[in-house]
A and B are shown apart, each in its own frame.
Chain A
């Protein structure tokens, strides 16, 4: 069984400050599903089903730095 909860949704929150212990992912490192989610959510106040390749607290470098919030 996967450890991941399957019914969480995620959103992206723009962030400027990146603490040293953060996992930072570049858009090009993500799988296609996670890339599509990032494209959809970046800069928009929306949620989408959580992408497998991203975790709560990750920061994604896309057109800005975005913190992943998964609930």
Chain B
């Protein structure tokens, strides 16, 4: 009898695992369970749909026929409610049971709601699924004024959507600049200016104390902790994710802000693996446990997990993640872990071009590039090679920086 593989989640991590399993184990029984009503689509392009820039069709990646053609049993609208690791089985909301030889948890996260009054009122949106994007598009097209909360990589998507749909927006931020954990005011100001040009006004030292609703329960204003009231008919909230670990709560599977896996994507239960946003993984580059939240990383983790499900120890995850913002006429890229480290260097390298590199024990652990992405590959290489750049940090700020510019003495320690 052939081995059976059950994958929970048909996002990029689960789907890339299914693809790899099928390629490398032609006879395997593969089942993919997803609570969404549609098969794999391009989650990083749904913002473009909500902006009104892309039709629906190019966002789909796997048509349902893909699963038939690859002999993968896809179950849409199927919520897994329980995992029984002793009997190697998962149970769904409709009482179905799927047994497995090997299980992959590629369940990602769910957007957090603001812990304030009326946070679930009509007109207040969170952004994760294609269905969310459809609802956002419909709602924003009828809106005149918006409020956005969450000064990070997903919040700025709401800002871009409002800008593209000519909705005047107030972007309420808690600190004094956008993504303050990764950018200083100088770098963030480039982003603020781009928002302002699109009719989105950053409001600093603000946030949301409560939402007010009209008689129909539709949001009509956000009130910030300073008592300022911002009228709106649309609100976008992107304050972070809750990782979907409740599924493993009653199992011995270890969790720590996600499901803990080794560099082979295996949990502490031998035949259970995890991949994608859900993992807290052993980061071989950083030398400690870490989390990534990006498309490229989730895809790679799915592939690596599948290989190790077939042959444990055969391939390890060693990857420098990156995430770009492409809403403006200049590019933005964050790489590695820009919010970590014990030191950093930053510089404005030309008008509208800024970069910051985060360092830990003299080694690059991440950074942000605005305007000029040309050193992206060099910085990633430094991370992969674990180069100690102590004493040469200023070179990293040179406009045409290349790895060869560093003295030979910094070669892998």
The interface of chain A, by Cβ under 8 A from chain B, is 18, 20-24, 26-29, 32, 35-36, 39, 59, 61-65
CA distance A21 to B63 in the complex (A): 13
The 8 A-B residue pairs with the shortest CB-CB distance in the complex, in nearest-first order: A20-B57, A24-B58, A26-B44, A20-B55, A28-B295, A27-B324, A63-B331, A39-B373
B66, CB-defined interface residue at 8 Å: no
Query: Which chain A positions have C-beta within 8 A of B25?
Result: none
User: What's the minimum C-beta distance from B82 to chain A, rounded to whole angstroms?
Assistant: 34
The interface of chain B, by Cβ under 8 A from chain A, is 42, 44-45, 48, 53-59, 294-296, 322-324, 326, 328-331, 373-374, 376-377, 380
A-B contact pairs, 16 of them (CB 8 A): A18-B58, A24-B45, A24-B48, A24-B54, A24-B58, A26-B295, A28-B295, A28-B296, A28-B323, A28-B324, A29-B296, A36-B377, A39-B373, A59-B58, A61-B326, A64-B329
Tell me if B374 and A63 are in contact (CB < 8 A).
no
Query: Which chain A positions have C-beta within 8 A of B44?
Result: 26, 28-29
Query: Which chain B positions have C-beta within 8 A of A39?
Result: 331, 373-374, 376
**Which of A22, A32, A36 has the most C-beta atoms of chain B within 10 angstroms of its own C-beta?**
A32
Tell me if A63 and B295 are in contact (CB < 8 A).
no
Closest A residue by C-beta to B57:
A20
Closest A residue by C-beta to B59:
A24
Tell me if A22 and B58 are in contact (CB < 8 A).
yes
Tell me if A65 and B53 are in contact (CB < 8 A).
yes
Tell me if A35 and B45 are in contact (CB < 8 A).
no
Tell me if B42 and A26 are in contact (CB < 8 A).
yes
CA distance A67 to B57 in the complex (A): 17
> Given the interface contacts A18-B55, A20-B57, A35-B376, does A28 sit within 8 Å of B329 by beta carbon?
no
Within the complex, which residue of A18, A36, A62 is in contact with B54, where a contact is CB–CB below 8 Å? A18
Closest A residue by C-beta to B43:
A26
Query: Which chain A positions have C-beta within 8 A of B323?
Result: 28
Closest B residue by C-beta to A32:
B377
CA distance A59 to B55 in the complex (A): 13
User: What's the minimum C-beta distance from B48 to chain A, rounded to whole angstroms?
Assistant: 6
Within the complex, which residue of B53, B57, B328, B380 is in contact with A21, where a contact is CB–CB below 8 Å? B57
Tell me if B331 and A62 are in contact (CB < 8 A).
yes
User: What's the minimum C-beta distance from A51 to chain B, rounded to whole angstroms?
Assistant: 13
User: What's the minimum C-beta distance from A15 to chain B, rounded to whole angstroms?
Assistant: 11
CA distance A18 to B48 in the complex (A): 12
Closest B residue by C-beta to A65:
B53
User: What's the minimum C-beta distance from B174 to chain A, rounded to whole angstroms?
Assistant: 27
User: What's the minimum C-beta distance from A38 to chain B, rounded to whole angstroms?
Assistant: 9
Kindly list 18 other residue pairs between chains A and B, CB separation below 8 angstroms, not including A18-B55, A39-B373, A63-B326.
A18-B53, A18-B58, A21-B57, A22-B58, A24-B45, A24-B54, A24-B58, A26-B45, A26-B295, A27-B326, A28-B294, A28-B324, A29-B295, A32-B377, A39-B374, A61-B45, A62-B326, A64-B329
Closest A residue by C-beta to B295:
A28
